[in-house]
Structure 1
Amino acid sequence: MGKKVRPAETLTLALDDILDSLASNVVAVNKLGEIIYCSPQFARYLELPREELIGRHINEFFPGTPLLEVLKDGRPQLGRRLQLKDGVYLVNRTPIWRNGEIVGAISEFQNINEIQNIIDELSSDNARIRELKNLLELILDLSSDGIVAIDRNYVITMANHNFASFFNKTPEEIIGKNVYEVYGESKPIFPRAMETGEAEYGYLGNLNGHEVIANRVPLVRDGEIVGALGVVAFRDVEELYALIKKIRHLKSELDYYRGELERVHRSKFSFDQIVGRNKQFEAVKETARRVAMTSSTVLILGESGTGKELFAHALHTEGLRSKGPFIKVNCAAVPENLLESELFGYVEGAFTGARKGGQPGKFELAHGGTIFLDEIGDMPMSMQAKLLRVLQEKEIERLGDTRPRRVDVRVIAATNQNLEELIGKGRFREDLYYRINVVTLNIPPLRERMDDLELLVEHFIKHFNRQFGQRVTGVSPEVMEILMNHHWPGNVRELENVLERAYNVLDGTVIQKKHLPLYLQKAGLARGQRANHSGLPRLVEEAEREAILEALAATKGNKRQAAQLLGISRAGLYKKLKRYQIECG
């Protein structure tokens, strides 16, 4: 006796045969969204073998598909319209239930042309089929497009309300009539699709006095053209013109604001905005202007607060890479264990907590532009070796990756330290020093360009007048004398902070001595006494130590705020605290 076939096996075979025979595109997924079945028509649509589709996620082929919504909420989506690469489809999406639980979902979609063929073939004698036909016609009627179909005899077999309204009629009044009779003198163009067998999209036509944008496609059944379908995409060409005009206006606005942003950026970060007429300072600016038009690596030297970042911005803004990004990295502010991923990025899984998909580093973000490595003298030795390789090879490797990535960046480095001394102490690589020291800009401290002090005061008063909405006319002669005699350990940034503080306590239009920080007020009183007993180096140290103590007192020991008040970096403040043996809780 032969093997007995169980009913379940017969049912499975029958279902496969039935589904494979459907003319629609059918795909079923499990509750994870993975394809567990697809019809031959679906595979042909994707131009892939069926075996290559099974097990792959539906999002790979239809990103963001609502089929996943059906998986979640269990609500069927019937008669939905779907725009795909080759036309408009109607789609039904339903959940698959087992024992009261959603175990998957199935989607069936079919070209609207094929649906029209189905409507023509439905028999009105069958109530169930008639109900389906009415449903399909209702779906078409809800479309915002005007839709009409004709058979080989140019008789209108289907039309929705949006199409019939062009003739001030209902669909029932034009269905069954010859299309030329309905159109009258305007003469239809879409039947050409039936005559030529070729589809055309986005053509300009006249529909009963309306200039419309429409599509026409032939209706094909069993390899034979049986009619034509016309779809009105824009009811009036003026709507399209208005849309184009709006898009052009928005593009014009975008170009304007992009230009304004570029102009503001250029005006903010150009060499013209760096204030100073001191000969030594002007010479540095002139050298920087010439260097800006090259791609050479630049090393900017100068004490904290001298304006190294302003020079870096100006080099980028007035250089060949001004259209590219400007990326800043403070090498002293990033913890050593994070600096590599910050500079070079990382791949997914590189470390615990790594972002899914990985993350590009600052060098990749600066591709085509400039990267500014501030306080490079504080970079750990281990990172210096990796930076040297990037500068030599012009490529980076993300943390956890083995694939090199090419980068095209201009490097500008800055430091307030003596790199040659650091080399001698074994804290900075000599080969890296010569790699970044192609062009050096040495920015003089404010105490060496005191002839610029009045100009800088005038500049900051104009700036803060705009910021605070005040009309300060200047500083008193007494204040100017105090400012001229101050050592300015925090340089231009300290001067800016001193004047900003004065604006916050100002009670008139002239900055007086009482508006200055206490350390400057006391320095003015004690200067004459100290001058009789100490040399210049000692005076400088005393003034700097006193300024630090006053700043710490004013900020109640907050080192970050004290450093900001003094116009120096936090790392610079810690060095001075150690130098002057100042202890604070």
Structure 2
Amino acid sequence: MVPVQEELRAAWHAFVAGNEDGLQMLRPVVRESWERCRRAGVNPYQKVVLTVLDPEALAARREKNREWLEIARPVMETLYRFVAGSGFVVAVADCEGYLLEVIGDPEVVQAIAKGNFVPGANWSEPSAGTNSVGTALIMNQPLQIFSYEHYCICSHRWTCSAAPIHDPDGNLIGVLDMTGSFEKVHPHTLGMVVAGADAIERQMAMKRAWRERDLANRVREALMESISEGILATDCNRRVIHMNQEAARLLGTKKEKAVGVDVWKVLGGEGADWESIVSGQKFITDRELDVTTPFGTVKLTVTSRPIRGNDGQCEGIVMILNEITRARKLTQRMSGAVARLTFDDMVGEDHKFRESLRLARAAASSDSTVLLLGESGTGKDILAQAIHNASQRAKGPFVAINCGAIPRDLIGSELFGYTEGAFTGARKGGSPGKFELADGGTIFLDEIGDMPLELQTTLLRVLEQKAITRIGGSTVLPVNVRVIAATNRDLAAEVERGNFRRDLYYRLNVVTIRLIPLRERQGDIELLLWHFLERLGKRMGKHVLSVDERVWPLVKAYPWPGNVRELQNVVERALHLAGGLTLRPEHLPEEIRRVQDNLQARKDLLPVPDYEKQVILKLLEENKGNLSRVANQLGIARTTLYRRMAKYGLRCDRDQYNRTNQ
């Protein structure tokens, strides 16, 4: 080795003297490094590295590289154990060449410190010339620098072997170095350093993989717990490998007790269905199944899916569990089972109308069955919603069904639901009925008088037992439902005719509320018309600010067979036709405008006393003194007609009218 060192010394002296002869024996990596050092103005005669960090700056550097430095220290200690007592030190530097750690035999550490090979010193090429730390950083490859291959005289007595360290993304982050006396140079030293750097890189990759896996597990755990459904997963041996808190709650257990246990014991299910599901032979969607828990049997909706391996084989299953009640609530929201109207939407000042509202408010405070009677269009559906929203069930569902609008062969399944296979075309998994969907709330049975007799018996049993059985099934399902029924028929008369069960009539007829027709609410017509003009006008973007005086006698004389609903439709139609800010007679339907002929109104239809007297006289003559007909055509009550006749000095003698017409 001495002859080689002498040749290197001669080559070094020649190079620093500016003589390029005899440099052929230099390795290309060394010659290129020397040339870089010359261009950078590095002093080849420097005996120490001049740039050394103070303790505070060194601590900051160590903290910046803390993550990989913690991995590197045990590797350095392992390397040192192999060479302890042999005159070597082991060091690491960051990506800028600053030494961060140096460990080794004390006497060697002291000796090498004379050239400032100490923590905090900058051993990059521009600072320390050609050396294994700085040159390995530039070349980004392992290398060994021997004796006079170093550019500065402070390192000529040493041989150093270094290998770059990369993070898992391939970025150069530092260097691992082993330095000793030049007499102890050996290729195996570089091999040890390369192995050490590789060990550091592998451990960094493993640490990142572990951290990413840990994060993925925590994200998965958070995701599972954020899902409102119960989730349970098994492996190929049917052992539970994961369960969220909701699944544990539904099954009456704890996660820590269930994980690792045979899923069959956790579920407590029975029958061929459960066996095929648990074994992965069958995968289901929203199937209703019974599960036995420590607190009794509960009915759940279950969905299962396979966990497939790379070969496509089933390696376990994932099950999604839901309470039946939660599934019902979801269906309720999707089906719009919500009451949106309140008593504030019921407009009117008529004393009979206000009495109906008073009874309805009183009924809302109890859970008694309510029977609403009245003609079509009087607002029975609105009053039913108002009662629900004023009751303690306001937060529950409001489910309405028109018993007269559903075919006879379907109304049973609509009301009570059905099981899978109950009839041809039955949906897979069955379907809940309106009573189930209304659980915890109110069911509104509109047109109850049209319900088939054969279903009236079933309805009576449901009202008495507060439980239903789906068509085709045998399981009794309790339901907590408040019933509001409505009809435009005379149920008492229907009972006498044999069209409605007497016992069901008495069961429904607990709180009876009658809604009077609009023709008996003359004082409310103007109020309602303005109400609809304002409400519908906002929705349609139409603004009618006034009503022609000729409109009022027409709308008040019209009998309104469709009641409030008809008035609302008339206003909506008029808003479409009214081009200006005033509602006029020509915007009304023809059947309402025809009332004008009966009244023989003047052009402006102003209510002057003489005109009103003439109208009453003419109507008395046309109706042969029938005061009821006259009052009806004028749109006023008979008592009002009496007062006006007395005002104008008129009296009615029906015999006189009969003699006059003979």
TM-score by length of 2: 0.45
Q: In the alignment, which residue of structure 1 is the partner of 2:385?
A: 313
CA–CA separation in structure 1 for the residues paired with 2:543 and 2:406: 40
Any unmatched runs of 5+ in structure 2?
Answer: 1-234, 242-258, 266-274, 285-301, 318-332, 601-617, 635-662
Q: Deviations over 1:289-318 (max 9, x none)?
A: 111010000001111111111110000001
Give the aligned residue type for 1:47: D
Give the aligned residue type for 2:262: E
Q: Deviations over 1:51-72 (max 9, x none)?
A: x7996527589943342xxxxx
Q: Does 1:65 align with 2:300?
A: no
Q: Deviations over 1:186-207 (max 9, x none)?
A: xxxxxxxxxxxxxxxxxxxxxx
CA–CA separation in structure 2 for the residues paired with 1:310 and 1:448: 19
CA–CA separation in structure 2 for the residues paired with 1:541 and 1:351: 54
Q: Does 1:427 align with 2:499?
A: yes
Q: Deviations over 1:327-386 (max 9, x none)?
A: 001010011110000000000000000000000000000000000000111111111111
CA–CA separation in structure 2 for the residues paired with 1:41 and 1:269: 52
Preserved contact between residue 280 and residue 314 of structure 2 (Cα < 8 Å): no
How many Å apart are 1:538 and its aligned residue?
6.9
Query: What pairs with 1:122-133 in structure 2 (closer than 5 Å)?
Result: none
How many Å apart are 1:500 and its aligned residue?
0.9
Query: What pairs with 1:193-232 in structure 2 (closer than 5 Å)?
Result: none
Query: What pairs with 1:159-558 in structure 2 (closer than 5 Å)?
Result: 269-528=341-600, 532-534=621-623, 535=626
How many Å apart are 1:454 and its aligned residue?
1.1
Q: Deviations over 1:188-239 (max 9, x none)?
A: xxxxxxxxxxxxxxxxxxxxxxxxxxxxxxxxxxxxxxxxxxxxxxxxxxxx
How many Å apart are 1:390 and its aligned residue?
0.7
Picking from 93, 99, 107, the partner of 2:310 is 93
Preserved contact between residue 94 and residue 107 of structure 1 (Cα < 8 Å): no
The 1:479/1:415 distance shift into structure 2, 3 A limit, reads: same
CA–CA separation in structure 1 for the residues paired with 2:238 and 2:457: 58
Q: Deviations over 1:457-516 (max 9, x none)?
A: 110111122012122013211111100111111111111111111111112111111111
Preserved contact between residue 236 and residue 316 of structure 2 (Cα < 8 Å): no
Q: In the alignment, which residue of structure 2 is the partner of 1:47?
A: 262
CA–CA separation in structure 2 for the residues paired with 1:62 and 1:421: 51
Q: Secondary structure at the match of 1:94?
A: coil
The 1:356/1:280 distance shift into structure 2, 3 A limit, reads: same
CA–CA separation in structure 2 for the residues paired with 1:65 and 1:347: 26
The 1:49/1:370 distance shift into structure 2, 3 A limit, reads: closer
The 1:331/1:48 distance shift into structure 2, 3 A limit, reads: closer
How many Å apart are 1:520 and its aligned residue?
1.1
CA–CA separation in structure 2 for the residues paired with 1:530 and 1:284: 33
Preserved contact between residue 298 and residue 413 of structure 1 (Cα < 8 Å): yes
CA–CA separation in structure 1 for the residues paired with 2:446 and 2:468: 19
Give the aligned residue type for 1:410: R
- Superposition CA RMSD, Å: 3.6
Comparing 382-391 and 54-63, the one that deviates more:
54-63
The 1:506/1:352 distance shift into structure 2, 3 A limit, reads: same
Q: Secondary structure at the match of 2:454?
A: helix
Q: Secondary structure at the match of 2:480?
A: coil
Give the aligned residue type for 1:403: T
TM-score by length of 1: 0.50
CA–CA separation in structure 2 for the residues paired with 1:370 and 1:441: 17
Seq. identity, %: 43
The 1:448/1:40 distance shift into structure 2, 3 A limit, reads: closer
CA–CA separation in structure 2 for the residues paired with 1:532 and 1:392: 58
How many Å apart are 1:272 and its aligned residue?
2.1
Q: Secondary structure at the match of 2:306?
A: coil
Q: Secondary structure at the match of 1:346?
A: coil
Query: What pairs with 1:129-144 in structure 2 (closer than 5 Å)?
Result: none
Larger Rg, first or second structure (1 or 2): 2
**Runs ≥4 residues deviating over 4 A:** 37-46, 52-56, 58-62, 106-109, 527-532, 535-543
The 1:57/1:509 distance shift into structure 2, 3 A limit, reads: same
How many Å apart are 1:270 and its aligned residue?
1.6
Any unmatched runs of 5+ in structure 1?
Answer: 1-36, 68-91, 96-104, 110-257, 544-585
Give the aligned residue type for 2:349: R
Q: Secondary structure at the match of 1:504?
A: helix
CA–CA separation in structure 1 for the residues paired with 2:594 and 2:397: 46
Q: Secondary structure at the match of 2:495?
A: helix
CA–CA separation in structure 1 for the residues paired with 2:373 and 2:303: 55
CA–CA separation in structure 2 for the residues paired with 1:492 and 1:106: 63
Q: Secondary structure at the match of 1:412?
A: strand
Preserved contact between residue 557 and residue 595 of structure 2 (Cα < 8 Å): no
The 1:279/1:62 distance shift into structure 2, 3 A limit, reads: closer
The 1:471/1:417 distance shift into structure 2, 3 A limit, reads: same
CA–CA separation in structure 1 for the residues paired with 2:599 and 2:342: 38
The 1:283/1:349 distance shift into structure 2, 3 A limit, reads: same
How many Å apart are 1:537 and its aligned residue?
7.2
Preserved contact between residue 238 and residue 316 of structure 2 (Cα < 8 Å): no
CA–CA separation in structure 2 for the residues paired with 1:62 and 1:308: 41
The 1:395/1:108 distance shift into structure 2, 3 A limit, reads: closer
CA–CA separation in structure 2 for the residues paired with 1:538 and 1:444: 19
CA–CA separation in structure 2 for the residues paired with 1:339 and 1:62: 29
Give the aligned residue type for 1:65: P
Preserved contact between residue 93 and residue 108 of structure 1 (Cα < 8 Å): no
Give the aligned residue type for 1:277: E
CA–CA separation in structure 2 for the residues paired with 1:325 and 1:471: 36
CA–CA separation in structure 1 for the residues paired with 2:238 and 2:453: 62
Count how many residue pairs are aligned between Structure 1 and Structure 2.
321
The 1:317/1:370 distance shift into structure 2, 3 A limit, reads: same
Q: In the alignment, which residue of structure 1 is the partner of 2:117?
A: none
Give the aligned residue type for 2:519: R
CA–CA separation in structure 2 for the residues paired with 1:399 and 1:42: 36
How many Å apart are 1:434 and its aligned residue?
0.5
Preserved contact between residue 307 and residue 315 of structure 2 (Cα < 8 Å): no
